[in-house]
């Protein structure tokens, strides 16, 4: 299924061209990789990667998405061929957007999924903490997130809901530093969540991982026939994939866990990041490759989906959740249920 068929190109200066039915990756006119087109569903390019016009035409003809991200993983553009989608499903989606009750309930489910998964990250950290003081601090923060969950039913507007989510995120990020191995904390201390641009190494790594999850969620929604621009929790703005951002909320803690793994296992160190003029921090090209490989490996992990009551690779879960979102849009009796691990 659609798990390992995304080609991530992180080599700065790489040139992608069409070679019969194959995509060829060249660096300084030397061929580094050949991939048959029929193996691909998407090509994701980071930073300064060039593409030939014949290749872009062929990708569009074959329905293979081309996604352009900047060096830090921020979304810039997406090229796709003719979209078929599901006009009736999209019509229902837009009708749901006008239904204030459905919009609020679905947004609440997305926030609940995120907070529950974040809470599990903190609880796991408390269990594995090396000191009682840190275990107690993490447990208190997990309890604060439990209070945020209890506050969700009383949030009677999207603004109120976003307020609960924002406070829960602030508490959660304040605890992530305690999950970093002590000898790595000087290099990877986070002073809250910063983006556009990230101001420290931890934030730079999170932004990069979020960008890849975001791309997977957007692709999953399009595969399900939904419009990724029309979301329920995130405000509608031109060019903003609001529904993809909604779906991604429950997967952010998975990105956080992978970031912690990469840091705590010393797979990334200070020399893997660059500080730009103005204080922006970015991943070095070789480090981007390390993160992409780890991300792809993590998506192979078998997890138990509580609703399906079966195991499946983590990388397929966005596709499952997108279909559950489509079911919720079609069927009033089947509200959206976020992915929450036990």
Percent of the chain with pLDDT over 90: 51
Listed in sequence order, the residues at least 6 apart from 5 whose beta carbon sits closer than 8 Å to its beta carbon are: 39, 40, 41, 42
**String of b and e for 55-72 (b: at least 16 CB within 10 Å)?**
beebbeeeebbbbbbebb
Residue pLDDT, tens place only, 294-315: 998 888 888 888 887 778 888 8
Q: What whole-number distance in Å separates Cα of residue 203 and Cα of residue 181?
A: 16
Binding-site residue numbers for Mn(2+) are 165, 234, 249
Least confident range of 23-32, 68-77, 273-282, 321-330 = 68-77
pLDDT at 4 over 60: no
Q: What whole-number distance in Å separates Cα of residue 275 and Cα of residue 193?
A: 17
Residue pLDDT, tens place only, 211-252: 889 988 988 898 788 999 999 999 988 888 999 999 999 999
Binding-site residue numbers are 165, 234, 249
Instruction: Give, to the nearest 10 degrees, the angle between helix 100-128 and helix 87-97.
Output: 90
Confidence of residue 16 (pLDDT cuts 50, 70, 90): very high
Quote the mean pLDDT of the chain. 88
Residue 106 tokens read as: 């679905």
> Any idea how long the chain is?
342
Looking at residue 137, the DSSP 8-state letter turns out to be: H
Listed in sequence order, the residues at least 6 apart from 70 whose beta carbon sits closer than 8 Å to its beta carbon are: 46, 47, 76
Q: What whole-number distance in Å separates Cα of residue 337 and Cα of residue 254?
A: 17
Q: Map out the domains of the chain with their CATH numbers.
A: 5-79 (3.100.10.20), 87-330 (1.20.120.920)
- Most confident listed range (6-15, 84-93, 110-119, 273-282): 110-119
Residue pLDDT, tens place only, 249-279: 999 999 999 999 999 999 988 888 888 877 7
Q: What whole-number distance in Å separates Cα of residue 216 and Cα of residue 42?
A: 10
Residue 340 tokens read as: 């929450």
Say how far residue 82 (Cα) sits from the centre of its chain.
25
């Amino acid at each position: 299924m659609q798990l390992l068929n995304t080609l991530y190109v992180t080599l700065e200066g790489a040139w992608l061209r069409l070679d019969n039915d194959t995509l060829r990756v060249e660096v300084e006119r030397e061929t580094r990789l050949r991939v048959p087109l029929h193996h691909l569903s998407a090509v994701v390019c980071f930073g300064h990667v060039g593409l030939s016009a014949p290749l872009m035409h062929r990708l569009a003809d074959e329905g293979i998405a081309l996604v352009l991200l900047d060096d830090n993983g921020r979304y810039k553009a997406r090229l796709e061929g003719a979209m078929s989608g599901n006009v009736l499903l999209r019509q229902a989606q837009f009708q749901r957007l006008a239904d204030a009750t459905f919009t609020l309930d679905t947004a609440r489910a997305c926030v609940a999924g995120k907070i529950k998964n974040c809470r599990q990250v903190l609880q796991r950290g408390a269990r594995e903490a090396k000191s009682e003081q840190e275990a107690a601090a993490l447990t208190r923060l997990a309890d604060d997130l439990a209070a945020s969950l209890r506050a969700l039913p009383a949030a009677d507007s999207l603004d109120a809901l976003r307020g609960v989510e924002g406070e829960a995120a602030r508490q959660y990020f304040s605890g992530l530093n305690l999950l970093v191995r002590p000898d790595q904390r000087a290099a990877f201390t986070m002073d809250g969540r910063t983006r556009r641009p990230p101001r420290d190494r931890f934030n730079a790594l999170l932004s990069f991982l979020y960008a890849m999850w975001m791309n997977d969620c957007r692709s999953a929604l399009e595969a399900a026939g939904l419009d990724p621009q029309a979301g329920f929790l995130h405000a509608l703005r031109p060019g903003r994939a609001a529904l993809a951002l909604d779906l991604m909320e429950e997967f952010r803690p998975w990105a956080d866990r992978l970031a912690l793994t990469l840091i705590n296992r010393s797979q990334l160190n200070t020399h893997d990041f660059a500080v730009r003029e103005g204080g922006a921090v970015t991943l070095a090209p070789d480090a981007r490759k390390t993160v992409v490989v780890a991300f792809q490996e993590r998506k192979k992990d078998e997890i138990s989906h509580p609703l399906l009551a079966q195991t499946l690779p983590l990388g397929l879960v966005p596709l499952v959740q997108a279909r559950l979102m489509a079911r919720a849009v079609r069927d009033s009796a089947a509200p959206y249920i976020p992915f929450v691990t036990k």
